[in-house]
Structure 1
């Protein structure tokens, strides 16, 4: 079975049900049957071009926004047994060039075929979407009578669930994106866990306000179609339009990253009087919510389970913290079903309860390998893998993340993980967002600095921040310099861009104001 199997089943049982809506108001809508026909046309065209048994070197790439063609291409390629490299339109030319130079696709679908695409991909392999060449490609290769129902896919049977179907790319503020190869089986197992953990089913309408170039939102799309739900995509995130779409489409599930949730709250406060009792779940990943932010979820979504979960492009779902969980709010929850954790010291030994160690994960949801061997190896022979996060397990089995091995600061000889300092700052109700970085210092080595965005009109002095944060993290790790800003920079995946924050502070010409 491929990741398109559940979707295909729904096209026969509920062909007229709404599968996809893109944009609000008069935006485009697709039924399950219409989306099936679109995916089938793509699958036929790909098989006609690359043969019934495409080799492992065959990959297509998609460089599109949240357009209607994206799901057709992604599902059609899955049916045809051809992996899809999902490229991010928000990448710089240098990032895009690095990926295309190292791992050029067999065919690339894009909105505009300019530099650096034409430098690394032959013109004949580029198809602009939408465009006459794309339509001709579908017509030439994907035409013919559509028998409908299961018969329409009878010629595409035989793709093993161990085969790769997707190459996602790790998000980050610096460095070349790393391609992560996923098998059908890894996502099918993750589908099972999401369905059991969150209860998403055919009665739901799922709103995805983020880019499909990021696995959190792409997974939300494919899982929703797998269980027969309706999916609403936004061409680009806008807080006001997202709230309108929740109302317009009667959305019941909402995928988010914390910065999006904060934007929804800020917009709602400027336009009071709206509540959305029909939303059943807020599914957030990417960074911790502050306890104050989590408590504010009830202002807009009084009946929603505010769920935070920890995972990664390589790992899928690792741990979950539900809104009604009595566990510590600063944790990322307990391991999901079927997930094993092993926290290890630098020498590879298991650490004790509440001792920090590198988080190793084993489950049937892990990725297969990196696209380029230069990016590292996949899971070891015993099935364990780590993305380098540092955490600790408490007495009740809750996982607390304290940092990344590569992002660790050494300040006055003390190891400082920026994430643990950030978590302490977010315990202060006056702070809405925080970024912790290290600046070079002759005395300290890395001088711990924080940039904060205040909650409302609240303000604190540096000494107050240090004194109150010291209740949650060692005082030696508390920020020694503090800056305030009206807006923090984000990566394209909605995470705070710590590299840019540090660069802005080093440059010295910025709008961030030092707090004394």
Structure 2
């Protein structure tokens, strides 16, 4: 069984039902049968090119925006038994070049072969999806002809590798993590159990398919038989229009998108969307005070946040109606085990801080590049370096990353812990916490704030209010304000860029005393 198996079964039971729509354009809607034809055409063409047993070293790659062909290639490669590298169109030229150079694909599907693609992709591997290039490639290898029927393909085992997802690059160049069909199929099971998504749902994914949160949402939605709506670009007003017009029941978000929806609704009051059953947020901690406002727009929605990673898949879930601590990331889902360990490797106790190790049947297999070492150990445990604690009720609280820790005045300070405290303040819409070199303190804890609705606090007020949630010694010692914070392509604040801007003079960031 592959990640495409259940999707293909829906194409025979409900061929005419809408599978995918993009941007609300009537001409950009495709039935399950139409998506099946595209999927099988790609599978046939890949098999014609690379044989019935291509092996994991044969990799396709997609560098595309949110378009139907992305999903056809993704599903088609799964059926053909060929892993897919998902590259991000928002990457810099340097990042694209680095990935193509380090782990070259045998077939690259992109909008157009210019810039770093032309300079770094292996010769003869590129298929341009815009224009006629994709159709020409399919016809050349018999794809469209085969898709008129139901071609049979050799069975692909569940443990076969099928997907290479890349980390966001917020701490360095993108790092590819390889997943098996089995790891996603088990994650499908947990999503279905946690959120009840089925063929009656309409799912809206306003983010890029290059990000695993939204790609997984699309693939799981089609696995469940739902209708999936994509957007070419995020636009808060259009998102709310789509939610209303298409009776969306499941909305995938990251916290920055939710903030934009709230801001748009504030400027255009009077609307409510009671048909939405779930808001599914991941990628960064959702401010508890902001999450509590979900009911203003979505009165019947379960405002869910979950913790995971490209390597770990789903780890823990915090439902909106959960009575657990809102500064946590929830309890582990069924089948997920946690082991929090001290630097010496021993287990820490309840409410003691340790490095978070995870074991489940959803973990990745290995990293793609030889430059990036790491895989689950012989006992099945893996860590991405997150630091946290588990409380008496079993809720996981994240406090930082092992490589991002600051040492300020001899005290260990995790920026995420300080960030979580600052996000409790109503005046703060977004904040980055970074360390700057200082002769006295070593790392001087600094906060760069984007204010909400014209509010403003000075440094003393920030320290006084934040100290209710985090030790005063860890509170910021310098405070900057800015109109806009830089983000990674996955929607997280890019702390590395923030720090570099401050080191270069803080252009656009003004210090407050």
TM-score, with length taken from structure 2: 0.98
Distance 2:136 2:283 in 1: 40
What is the match of residue 313 of structure 2?
A: 316
Matching residue within 357, 360, 379 for 1:360: 357
What is the match of residue 119 of structure 2?
A: 119
Matching residue within 183, 195, 199 for 2:196: 199
**8 A contact 1:356–1:391 mirrored in 2:** yes
**8 A contact 2:295–2:301 mirrored in 1:** yes
The 5-angstrom pairing of residues 271-286 of structure 1 reads 271-286=268-283
**8 A contact 2:52–2:154 mirrored in 1:** no
**8 A contact 1:290–1:432 mirrored in 2:** no
Matching residue within 262, 265, 269 for 2:262: 265
Distance 2:210 2:49 in 1: 25
Distance 2:154 2:269 in 1: 53
What is the match of residue 404 of structure 2?
A: 407
- 1:475 equivalent to 2:472? Answer yes
Matching residue within 332, 336, 340 for 1:339: 336
Please state whether the residue corresponding to 1:124 is helix, strand or coil: coil
Please state whether the residue corresponding to 1:451 is helix, strand or coil: strand
The 5-angstrom pairing of residues 182-331 of structure 1 reads 182-331=179-328
Distance 1:60 1:370 in 2: 16
- CA shift for structure 1 position 147: 5.4
What is the match of residue 49 of structure 2?
A: 49
**8 A contact 2:271–2:297 mirrored in 1:** yes
What is the match of residue 158 of structure 2?
A: 161
What is the match of residue 15 of structure 2?
A: 15
Please state whether the residue corresponding to 1:73 is helix, strand or coil: helix
**8 A contact 2:44–2:146 mirrored in 1:** no
Please state whether the residue corresponding to 1:267 is helix, strand or coil: helix
- CA shift for structure 1 position 196: 0.2
**8 A contact 2:169–2:175 mirrored in 1:** no
Distance 1:103 1:172 in 2: 16
Please state whether the residue corresponding to 1:35 is helix, strand or coil: helix
**8 A contact 2:79–2:153 mirrored in 1:** yes
Gap regions ≥5 residues in structure 2:
none
- CA shift for structure 1 position 344: 0.1
Q: 1:127 to 1:507 in 2, by over 3 A?
A: same
What is the match of residue 83 of structure 1?
A: 83
RMSD of Structure 2 on Structure 1 (CA): 1.1
Distance 1:297 1:191 in 2: 25
- CA shift for structure 1 position 458: 2.2
**8 A contact 1:111–1:128 mirrored in 2:** yes
- CA shift for structure 1 position 250: 1.1
- CA shift for structure 1 position 124: 1.8
**8 A contact 1:207–1:246 mirrored in 2:** yes
Q: Which sits farther off after the overlay, 427-436 or 192-201? A: 427-436
Q: Which sits farther off after the overlay, 50-59 or 377-386? A: 50-59
Q: Which sits farther off after the overlay, 390-399 or 292-301? A: 292-301
**8 A contact 1:19–1:229 mirrored in 2:** yes
What is the match of residue 144 of structure 2?
A: 143
**8 A contact 2:164–2:176 mirrored in 1:** yes
Distance 1:352 1:421 in 2: 22
- 1:393 equivalent to 2:390? Answer yes
**8 A contact 2:23–2:231 mirrored in 1:** yes
Distance 1:192 1:26 in 2: 32
What is the match of residue 38 of structure 2?
A: 38
Gap regions ≥5 residues in structure 1:
none
Q: 1:32 to 1:441 in 2, by over 3 A?
A: same
- CA shift for structure 1 position 509: 4.4
- CA shift for structure 1 position 322: 0.2
Please state whether the residue corresponding to 1:144 is helix, strand or coil: helix
TM-score, with length taken from structure 1: 0.98
- CA shift for structure 1 position 255: 0.7
Please state whether the residue corresponding to 1:373 is helix, strand or coil: coil
**8 A contact 1:359–1:386 mirrored in 2:** yes
- Cα-to-partner distance string for 1:14-44 (whole Å, 9 max, x where unaligned): 1111000011243500100000001010000
